[in-house]
Structure 1
Amino acid sequence: MGQRVGVEFNGKKCYPLSSKHKSSYFYNINKEILKRVQENLYFGITLSEDMEWKTFITNITKRANSTLEFLRRNLSHCP
């Protein structure tokens, strides 16, 4: 598919996710077997095997709290 449209996929950056059913299939790109993962970041959204939002919401909350603390520390001395 990728070669037909002029795109090369990097096997080290591609990860198959299985939802619901545990797949016994192995996927490969250019004869390189892809590493299976339980969750992966895709365009800023954490996708997981169980298709739940829990991991994504946890990551967003951590980032928001970190930003809030940064602003509190650095803006506390402003008038």
Structure 2
Amino acid sequence: MSSMFGVVGKQLRTHPALIPLFVFIGGGAAMSMMYLGRLALKNPDVSWDRTNNPEPWNKIGPNQQYKFYKINMDYSKLKKGGPDF
């Protein structure tokens, strides 16, 4: 593993134009892993604890935002549109 980093380091020293490529690909990989972690931990459709709360999507209130990005939506003014289960 350390020999691989040595080869990459040697390539970057001889070809410095590759540095932005490694930076952007590394940043994109890091951001995609962070988004995947956010989806796994914060999404109400994912249930990690099936014994205590097997259906976590039923505990979401009508005025609670769970989407990553909202466009012109005020969740505090929403009213519940369905029955209680």
TM-score (norm 1): 0.38
- Compare the two structures and name the one with the higher helix fraction: 2
For the pair shown, which has the larger CA radius of gyration, 1 or 2?
2
